[in-house]
Amino acid sequence: MKRWVVALLVLLAVVVLLSPGIVGKLAEQNLKDSISWAESESDDVVVTEESFRRHWFTAEGRHRIELKAGELRSRIAGLAGLEEEDRVPALIVDTRIDHGLVPLTSMSRESGSLMPGLASTVSTMQLDPGDGELIDIPGTLYSQVGLTGGTASRYLLETGSHEEDGTRLAWEGADVSLSTDRSRQNLQYEGTIQPLSSVSDDQSVHLGLTTFEGEGRQTDYGFMVGDLVLRIDSISVGEETGAKVGIGKLAVDASSDIVDERVNGRTTVTIEDFSLPGVGVVDVGIDVSANGFEARSMQAIIAELEQAQNAADPSAALAEVYPRIEGDVQKFLSSGGELRIDRLDVSLPQGDVTTQLHFELPEADPGASFSWPAVILALTASADVRLPVAVMDLAQAANPESGALIAMGILKKDGDSYIVNAEYRKGLLTVNGAPMPIPLPGS
């Protein structure tokens, strides 16, 4: 019996003392894989390893994250008032890694853990404005790399403030968590950002308590689907002692998925107490859904558009995109789909504006030749809009030509409101009961 105890103690000693060297190499490779994944997620970002020293129990590394030369970098340089040859600001990340199946050395620092894994890391960040004088960025990032390669990270920010060039930044803290599996194909996140503000002599920005949570799944089509819930208690932007644009509360609920190679998604947005100078306080509610859109052709269209946006001359590149995606656009439309706006409500001081829109395109018969007239004939759509008379009166005062909508019967008076009830089917548009044929090419 004693021999088993001795053997067990020897085995534990091997795990604790000898595994760090082996696991450290695995942890280093995991870090490199993470960097490669981060770069692959954005064509605009490059991550450079400035230094990496691996010891038996620990390792230290420094990495620089900056934008690649290109359109986005040039735009940011212009906004920052930098010449094109100047360096765009970069993020410097210093990381300490405690590795080993039992990372004993991590217990000497805050948030250390004896949880078995490949690595336990702590990272601090600095900003290089472009002149090499590093500025400390508050907050610390803690991460755990599990035995299977999954990563769980947590960013903690304490209360603090910073003042420079007449602008004072103040924050009350943050706690943000992110976890991914080994393949980085699935992620979960959640966080709480306490109120923060930026105040200068003439401008101020205030952001209230913000919370979010969600999950994402990488698909075979080059984009992610998942769920998101976002809540912001208040937003205020404007002159410190003058007019401001403010939001009392913002809520976003969104989800998307792919079923049988079809993309489905929905988004709900609620904005309360939206204060606009010269307008008053407004509430906004939006419910949008898209269902049954073909994923493969959507992937090709998105890829071409992203490539054009990242070109040296995005405007010229976008103008040349359609010939390359024409076949994918035809496949996308021939596959059918549905777009619904079940609620687009705006509550104004003069009354409520309500809108509902519905567009549906059935899947074309297999082997049928594509034609734009056929698409237009197959489309069904409807629109229901209601707006207060007081709002229309204001519109006519600002633009007298808008009164033609009433004269043409597009806007029909119903009590204290104007309404639009429109339906489109098989090339015939009916507005408030009156048919309005639509001329089609070749008809």
Reported as a single tens digit per residue, the pLDDT across 195-216 is 999 888 778 889 999 999 999 9
Q: How many of the other CB atoms lie within 10 Å of CB of 375? A: 14
Instruction: Examine the pLDDT at 276 and tell me if it is beyond 60.
Output: yes
Q: Give the residue with greater pLDDT, 194 vs 435.
A: 194
Q: Hey, what are 188's tokens? A: 């979960």
Given a cut of 70, whether residue 78 has pLDDT beyond it is no
Top pLDDT among 2 and 297 is at 297
Main-chain dihedrals φ then ψ at residue 97, nearest 5 degrees: -115, 125
Residue 285, pLDDT above cutoff 50? yes
Q: How many CB atoms lie within 10 A of CB 20?
A: 25
Half-sphere exposure (Cβ direction) of 423: Cα atoms closer than 13 Å: 7
| Angle at which helices 322-334 and 295-309 cross, to 10° | 160
* Residue percentage of the chain with pLDDT more than 70: 76
Asked whether the beta carbons of 30 and 119 are under 8 A apart, the reply is yes
In this structure, of 141-145, 301-305, 427-431, the range with the lowest mean pLDDT score is: 141-145
Residue 231 contacts residue 251 (beta carbons within 8 Å): yes
Question: Average of pLDDT values for 128-135?
Answer: 75
pLDDT exceeds 80 at position 293: yes
At residue 395 the predicted structure's pLDDT band, cuts being 50, 70 and 90, is confident
Contact, 210 vs 237, CB < 8 A?
A: no
Closest Cα to residue 31, out of 91, 109, 94? 94
What's the pLDDT at 73? 60
Domain parsing of the chain, residue ranges = 1-157
> In the predicted model, is pLDDT for residue 283 greater than 90?
yes
Confidence of residue 231 (pLDDT cuts 50, 70, 90): very high
Strand partners, 429: 424, 436
C-alpha 297: how far from chain center: 22
Does the pLDDT of residue 167 top 50, yes or no?
yes
Compare 189 and 104 and report the one with higher pLDDT: 189
Q: Which of 281, 248, 277 is nearest to 350 (CA)?
A: 281
Question: Kindly report the CA angle at 106 between 189 and 174, in degrees rounded to 5?
Answer: 35
- Averaged pLDDT for residues 415-431: 91
pLDDT band at 118 (very low <50, low <70, confident <90, very high): low
Once rounded to an integer, what is the mean pLDDT over residues 12-19?
A: 43
Residue 338 · residue 359 · CB < 8 Å: yes
Name residue, tokens 């500025």: 135
Q: Which residues pair with 381 in a beta bridge?
A: 359, 424
Structure token digits, residue 120:
């336990």
Burial class (CB in 10 A: 0-12, 13-18, 19+), 121: buried
pTM for the complete prediction?
A: 0.78
Say what the pLDDT of residue 26 is. Answer: 47
Average pLDDT, whole number, for the chain? 80
Note whether 73 and 80 are within 8 A (CB): no
Span 239-249, average pLDDT? 77
Lowest mean pLDDT among 110-124, 179-193, 344-358, 377-391: 110-124
Higher pLDDT, 120 or 204: 204
Predicted confidence (pLDDT) per residue in 401-411, tens digit: 887 888 888 88
Q: How confident is the model at residue 339 (pLDDT cuts 50, 70, 90)?
A: very high
Is residue 317 over pLDDT 90? no
Produce one character per residue of 151-173: b if its CB has 16 or more CB atoms within 10 Å, e if not. Answer: bbbbbbbeeeeeeeeeeebebeb
pLDDT at residue number 88: 67
Q: Alpha-carbon distance 71 to 43, whole Å?
A: 11
Tabulate helix, strand, coil % of the chain (nearest 5). Answer: 25, 45, 25
- Most confidently predicted of 87-101, 141-155, 246-260, 388-402: 246-260
Instruction: Read off the pLDDT band of 80 (50, 70, 90).
Output: low
Q: Which pair of tokens denotes residue 310?
A: 């990242």
CB-based contacts of 172, cutoff 8 Å, min separation 6:
159, 194, 195, 196
The pLDDT value recorded for residue 99 is 61
